[in-house]
Structure 1
């Protein structure tokens, strides 16, 4: 697939099995000697495991190691002991985290994202920061469709510091709401029309909007309901449950618009009022509470 598609960079998602990941990377390097290799364990490794794996992987000439462990401090400890460049899409995801990462010398490459960083202008501002401080930059992919991919291509085309092959899963999509972007020799062609250069197929947009309306997601934890009726599984009766209505946590009287799952409500109801109020931002629940929402499912 790599040779046929003309790709010159391959990214492997890591696991908690550090030794298994190292073995796979060795096999990939043997099979793809001329291709840039990256691995992203999504912070699944501990700091000691990251150091051991990083030292072992130095002989494979990886392009970079992305988020082997969690946190700016952990990344800093790893970076001090290995020679592979470290990339992040997890510990530097907003501008207020940039300075601490620089002070601790925690990263070499930062992943931008038009949506996570707040738009094209914000992503280009991140690029300016990276260029000023001598960091590399790349773009993250979260499975975005054609419109978002076109936005990323617009950033790449106008941002010289983005010199690496960006992450993209566009070639995996079976369909889209725009005319498919052209992929040839491992490269996506930049659309030539005005704006982002794409035209929305309104019939497909209506079709997929209808499909999506049958899957309701919690406004706080992001989990989808799989039941057509919208109620959580199990025999517990939700206080508010799924639905197009407002929900108020019984203890803290914090009101949220949109769909709220039963588990998210239980989590909020156990928060202190101050913590509950702090959740009223664009990302929904703080990360530690989102994780609890996802793990503690109703039985």
Structure 2
């Protein structure tokens, strides 16, 4: 994205902070707080999770500014295939969650949840396979395993036919070791890197280390669509576009990236609006027949008012916006 930022006052004046209820617990939360910005060319979302520091949050702000003030690259496609997402729920609830996504060709299943066991994970994955015999299944551990546990778990879960495993361990060296051990054991599970791309100071380190077979790219943590496109090109690896529990405004940016990539070999993780019990637009960007059609997301004033954050949370987010903006102006 061009390093041209609007005046801070423009951002503060357009900022709207909302708290949206969720259908199920995801990332340990039942409400999603986020800040929306309205620029001259559209809406942008600044939704870095509260525990993230200002430097990391500044990339999310850069992405929101790109969306609202610069717009997106020209699309190469207008229909984006997406996967369903199954949180770390009991296996008995899997059909209920899948039903919210309509037709499903690919499913991402959360595993390695603190307090749960491999048996819980295996039951959840098996329930997805039972419900969808022909769908592609990928699992996401969010770095929750160590190397031996990851190898054991993926060797077991591979029985259902896994498309890939996302971030089974937290660090790049560990990813490379898991990948090596699985190959040596003849376990046909590809390794995808997520946190090792978006949370590293050098997002290309995972590619140079040969630690993954594909990259999971999220627009906001990488600083915008154009920055993410550059990263994928430099890495020279297949990419899956995913979201960060965004409203439809944030999903619009993810769709813009998926639409602009020269190749899109995997269904994208952009169907997460279905995990929210409310949205900021009357026309949510949700999947229809396994895909989302590319279109703009316009926040609705009544919904912004209905789900407006209480004053103390709005103040917290505005203070955070100021700090993140200061980082953008002076990255050093």
TM-score, normalising length: structure 1: 0.64
Q: Which residue of 2 aligns with 1:154?
A: 256
| C-alpha distance in structure 2 between counterparts of 1:51 and 1:123, whole Å | 30
Which of 144, 147, 154 aligns to 1:47? It is 147
Structure 1 residue 182: deviation in Å?
A: 5.5
Report how many residues are paired: 219
| C-alpha distance in structure 1 between counterparts of 2:239 and 2:259, whole Å | 14
Structure 1 residue 6: deviation in Å?
A: 0.2
**Is contact 2:273–2:279 with CA below 8 Å preserved after alignment?**
no
With over 3 angstroms needed to count, the CA separation of the structure-2 counterparts of 1:120 and 1:212, relative to structure 1, is: farther
Which of 167, 170, 186 aligns to 1:70? It is 170
With over 3 angstroms needed to count, the CA separation of the structure-2 counterparts of 1:215 and 1:123, relative to structure 1, is: same
User: Aligned pair 1:125/2:222, yes or no?
Assistant: no
Q: Which residue of 2 aligns with 1:26?
A: 126
SS at match of 2:254: helix
Structure 1 residue 50: deviation in Å?
A: 0.6
Higher percent of residues as strand:
2
Q: Which residue of 2 aligns with 1:200?
A: 299
User: Aligned pair 1:89/2:190, yes or no?
Assistant: no
Structure 1 residue 140: deviation in Å?
A: 2.3
Q: Which has the larger radius of gyration?
A: 1
Structure 1 residue 257: deviation in Å?
A: 6.2
Structure 1 residue 102: deviation in Å?
A: 2.5
User: Aligned pair 1:11/2:113, yes or no?
Assistant: no
Runs of 4+ in 1 over 6 A off after TM superposition: none
With over 3 angstroms needed to count, the CA separation of the structure-2 counterparts of 1:41 and 1:218, relative to structure 1, is: farther
CA RMSD of aligned residues (A): 2.9
**Is contact 1:109–1:136 with CA below 8 Å preserved after alignment?**
yes
| C-alpha distance in structure 1 between counterparts of 2:234 and 2:319, whole Å | 42
Q: Which residue of 2 aligns with 1:223?
A: none
Structure 2 unaligned blocks of 5 or more: 1-94, 183-187
TM-score, normalising length: structure 2: 0.58
Q: Tell which has more relative contact order, 1 or 2 (C-alpha 8 A, sep 6+).
A: 2
